[in-house]
């Protein structure tokens, strides 16, 4: 990257920024505060872009709730954007009127809400009147009796007993439903009756003021409910028809999102009455042509320099074809710092090996290769999905290799085709280690892989520091840990195997030398001698400093999950083989059941195991490996050009 400042005449600024937007190579940053106050931000080309985006996002959310632009399960795995030509985007933006659509959505939503409110009201009244269905007279009439007062009360169990036991003769009552009671008494005895009822502690209920009988009202409510359901269904169809235009709305939204970002970007461009100033970062490869165009087309000048440590330099990661799909893993963690290193090529083979060990089955590997190839072809237009499946294609190859090495072919399926069959002999000829019969060796292999990968991480740290010119950092935070940890590894090996005395001596020497070096260097940033020594001693354990013995042991043991996952895939596959073999003994349908159980069982195991086989190796990379050297926190390179969260634009308008 090059840090550039372009100076152009103020009157050429609009055409210059338009040209910048079209070229999409410069990552704009704010011009430094050293410019005088007479410099002000450039005018926005489209002041309404933010408003249009806000409105179209609401319209889009409405369309999506009715099924428009719905992503398939596969598409939802990776955040992918709709791909469209720039001419399609411009055409959609011309056709779509955000204000009109937003109003239309508002109206549809309001109608929907009104219908739902009416429906809720009908259902509530229906529920209330259901208890009065047996009352033959209009309910309203009960409220206006001249001599009798009728009330409705809810009584608890104890109050009901009290009512039965001590009800005065002037009060009559009848259970209406559940704990709901009619109570009636002469109006002339109202005060005494009310006092008695009050003593029961009832919850008063109002008698519905319905002019007809409850049954008649319920019938009319049912009719109203039916009518509302029809209206809701019609409105639903109307909304679905509206949502059909969701794809075009999405394109218009993409266009306006880009215009919004363009307006935001132009706020970083300052100009006085005579000069326009544009500041940003440019990939070095574009510098020459950019400078030439600024001079020739706009009569300006370009100042450039190399970024310095401390600059917030955007990061553009350019990877060759093979490594590009693995970028997905690094993106899960965050963009690397500009002055750090891109770890993608260095984690590619370890990740693929870890995946292969966890999934480790030749048949599953072949299945994964076939499935990935099909999906890569299907989603060839969507870059992120294509790379996602390309990564799984690599994983499939790795799965085949490790499956062959541990002798897993759909579990132990080859054993069911007769003793000593060709497939069995072929599988056994490739097998190096059977983790089921020798789990301790497999476990030690997993631990060895852990140690090796931790050493690899330390090597990356040494390289990173060396590149930066931090030779002391490379030696103290990397080289000394090599000595110390190698000493630990050798001495710990003595717990599992008998070591020659010389080797033990070498281990002890390395441990002591490394420890002394670390104690003397890990606290080098501390001000006092005591502080340096204490920091150094504590860093050996691992709370402070760049690494630690506990961190090393913990990270290494974490790799034992490779064995656990590999065993799980194999054992579950073998279990389905046993089930299929049992079913094969059934009369008439035995062969069919054998095939069905095999297909169902192994498909199930394939999809269940693939999740763990991806997640746990990813974790080993992101946590245990990256923890040694990786510095995230970089800014993604986002050139001033077309930019939308929803749409990926491709140039051109031809078919």
Q: Which two tokens stand for residue 95?
A: 């056709």
* Of the candidate residues 16, 481, 626, 640, the single one contacting another protein (CB under 8 A): 626
Asked whether the beta carbons of 617 and 559 are under 8 A apart, the reply is: no
Q: Does 632 engage in binding with another protein (CB under 8 A)?
A: yes
**In this chain, which stretch among 20-28, 455-463, 501-509, 553-561 interacts with another protein, using CB under 8 A?**
553-561
**In this chain, which stretch among 155-163, 286-294, 455-463, 561-569 interacts with another protein, using CB under 8 A?**
561-569
Q: Does 303 engage in binding with another protein (CB under 8 A)?
A: no
* Residues 114-153: x where in contact with another protein by CB under 8 A, - otherwise, as a string: ----------------------------------------
* Of the candidate residues 145, 303, 615, 650, the single one contacting another protein (CB under 8 A): 615
- Residue 327, burial from CB neighbour count under 10 angstroms (0-12, 13-18, 19+): middle
Give one word for 508, left, alpha or beta, with left for phi > 0 and alpha for psi -120 to 50.
Answer: alpha
Residue placing its CB nearer to another protein in the complex, 325 or 517: 325
Which of 493, 551, 555, 483 minimizes the C-alpha distance to 520?
Answer: 483
**# binding residues, another protein (CB under 8 A):** 36
Asked whether the beta carbons of 612 and 620 are under 8 A apart, the reply is: no
- HSE-CB of 343 using CA atoms within 13 angstroms: 30
CA–CA distance, 468 with 308 (Å, rounded to integer):
11
In angstroms, what is the C-alpha Rg of the chain?
38
CA–CA distance, 63 with 105 (Å, rounded to integer):
9
* Of the candidate residues 474, 565, 597, 598, the single one contacting another protein (CB under 8 A): 565
Q: Does 563 engage in binding with another protein (CB under 8 A)?
A: yes
* Of the candidate residues 261, 262, 279, 561, the single one contacting another protein (CB under 8 A): 561
Residue placing its CB nearer to another protein in the complex, 541 or 600: 541
Which of 137, 127, 124, 131 minimizes the C-alpha distance to 210?
Answer: 137
Residues numbered 316 to 335 that lie near another protein (CB under 8 A) are 328, 331-334
Asked whether the beta carbons of 263 and 45 are under 8 A apart, the reply is: yes
Q: Does 393 engage in binding with another protein (CB under 8 A)?
A: no
Q: Does 554 engage in binding with another protein (CB under 8 A)?
A: yes
Q: Does 560 engage in binding with another protein (CB under 8 A)?
A: yes
* Of the candidate residues 32, 156, 345, 633, the single one contacting another protein (CB under 8 A): 633
Q: Does 495 engage in binding with another protein (CB under 8 A)?
A: yes
Specify which residues 354 forms β-bridges with: none
Helix axes 246-266, 98-129, angle to 10 degrees: 120
Q: Does 460 engage in binding with another protein (CB under 8 A)?
A: no
Residue placing its CB nearer to another protein in the complex, 413 or 461: 461
- Report the SS3 class of residue 177: strand
Q: Does 557 engage in binding with another protein (CB under 8 A)?
A: yes
Which CA distances in Å does 31 have to 201, 302, 473? 76, 14, 34
- Residue 73, burial from CB neighbour count under 10 angstroms (0-12, 13-18, 19+): exposed
Helix axes 362-378, 383-406, angle to 10 degrees: 170
Which CA distances in Å does 287 have to 245, 280, 295, 312? 43, 12, 12, 19
Q: Does 493 engage in binding with another protein (CB under 8 A)?
A: no
**In this chain, which stretch among 133-141, 240-248, 257-265, 559-567 interacts with another protein, using CB under 8 A?**
559-567
* Of the candidate residues 10, 69, 74, 78, the single one contacting another protein (CB under 8 A): 78
* Of the candidate residues 627, 650, 651, 653, the single one contacting another protein (CB under 8 A): 627
Residue placing its CB nearer to another protein in the complex, 64 or 238: 64
CA–CA distance, 601 with 338 (Å, rounded to integer):
48
**In this chain, which stretch among 34-42, 460-468, 497-505, 629-637 interacts with another protein, using CB under 8 A?**
629-637
- Least Cβ distance, residue 622 to another protein (angstroms): 6
- Least Cβ distance, residue 140 to another protein (angstroms): 48
* Of the candidate residues 618, 625, 628, 640, the single one contacting another protein (CB under 8 A): 618
Applying CB under 8 A, which residues contact another protein?
76-79, 328, 331-334, 439-440, 443, 495-496, 550, 553-554, 557-558, 560-561, 563-565, 612, 615-616, 618-619, 622-623, 626-627, 630, 632-633
């Amino acid at each position: 990257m090059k840090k550039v400042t372009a100076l152009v005449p103020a009157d050429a600024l609009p055409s210059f920024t338009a040209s910048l937007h079209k070229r999409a190579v410069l990552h704009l940053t704010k011009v430094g505060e050293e410019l005088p106050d007479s410099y002000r931000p450039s005018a926005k080309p489209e002041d309404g872009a933010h408003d249009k985006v806000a409105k179209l996002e609401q319209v889009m959310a409405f369309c999506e709730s009715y099924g428009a632009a719905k992503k398939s399960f596969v598409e939802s795995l990776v955040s992918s954007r709709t791909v469209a030509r720039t001419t399609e985007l411009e055409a959609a933006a011309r056709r779509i009127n955000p204000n009109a659509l937003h109003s239309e959505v508002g109206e549809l939503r309001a109608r929907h809400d009104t219908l739902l409110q009416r429906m809720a009201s009908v259902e509530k009244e229906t529920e209330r009147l259901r208890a009065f269905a047996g009352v033959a007279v209009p309910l309203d009439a009960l409220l206006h009796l001249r001599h009798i007062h009728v009330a409705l009360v809810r009584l608890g169990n104890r109050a009901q007993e009290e009512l039965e036991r001590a009800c005065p003769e002037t009060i009559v009552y009848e259970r209406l439903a559940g704990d709901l009671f009619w109570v009636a008494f002469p109006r002339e005895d109202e005060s005494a009756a009310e006092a008695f009822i009050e003593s029961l502690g009832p919850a008063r209920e109002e008698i519905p003021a319905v002019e007809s009988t409850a049954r008649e009202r319920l019938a009319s409510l049912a009719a109203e409910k039916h009518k509302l359901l029809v209206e809701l269904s019609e409105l639903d169809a109307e909304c679905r028809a509206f949502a059909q235009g969701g794809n075009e709305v999405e394109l218009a939204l993409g266009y306006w999102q880009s215009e919004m970002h363009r307006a935001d970007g132009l706020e970083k461009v300052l100009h006085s009455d005579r000069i326009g100033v544009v500041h940003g970062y440019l990939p070095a490869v574009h510098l020459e042509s950019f400078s030439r165009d600024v001079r020739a087309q706009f009569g300006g000048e370009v100042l450039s320099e190399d970024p310095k440590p401390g600059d917030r330099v955007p990061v553009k990661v350019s990877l060759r074809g093979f490594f590009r799909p693995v970028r997905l893993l690094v993106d899960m963690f965050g963009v690397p710092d500009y002055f750090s290193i891109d770890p993608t090529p260095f984690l590619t083979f370890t990740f693929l090996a870890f995946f292969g060990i966890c999934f480790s089955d030749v048949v599953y590997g072949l299945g994964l290769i076939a499935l990935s190839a099909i999906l890569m072809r299907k989603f060839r237009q969507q870059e992120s999905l294509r790379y996602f499946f390309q990564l799984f294609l690599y994983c499939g190859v790795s799965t085949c290799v490790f499956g062959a090495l541990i002798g897993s072919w759909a579990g132990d399926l080859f054993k069911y085709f007769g003793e000593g069959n060709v497939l069995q002999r072929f599988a056994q000829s490739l097998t190096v280690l059977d983790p089921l019969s020798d789990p301790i060796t497999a476990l030690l292999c997993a631990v060895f892989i852990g140690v090796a990968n931790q050493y690899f991480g330390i090597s990356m740290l040494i390289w990173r520091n060396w590149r930066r010119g931090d030779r002391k950092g490379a030696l103290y935070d990397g080289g000394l840990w090599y000595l110390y940890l190698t000493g630990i590894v050798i001495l710990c090996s003595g717990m599992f195997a008998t070591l020659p005395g010389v080797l033990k001596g070498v281990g002890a020497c390395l441990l002591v030398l490394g420890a002394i070096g670390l104690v003397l260097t890990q606290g080098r940033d501390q001000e006092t001698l005591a502080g340096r020594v204490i920091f150094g001693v504590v860093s050996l354990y691992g709370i402070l400093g760049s690494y630690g013995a506990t961190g090393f042991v913990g990270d290494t043991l974490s790799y034992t999950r490779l064995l656990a996952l590999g065993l799980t895939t194999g054992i579950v596959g073998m279990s389905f083989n046993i089930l299929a073999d049992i079913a094969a003994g059934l009369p008439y349908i035995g062969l069919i059941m054998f095939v069905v159980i095999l297909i169902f069982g192994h498909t199930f195991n394939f999809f269940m195991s693939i999740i763990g086989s991806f997640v746990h190796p990813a974790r080993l990379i992101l946590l245990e490996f990256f923890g040694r050297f990786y510095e995230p926190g970089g800014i993604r390179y986002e050139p001033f050009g077309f930019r939308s969260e929803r749409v990926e634009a491709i140039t051109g308008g031809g078919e």
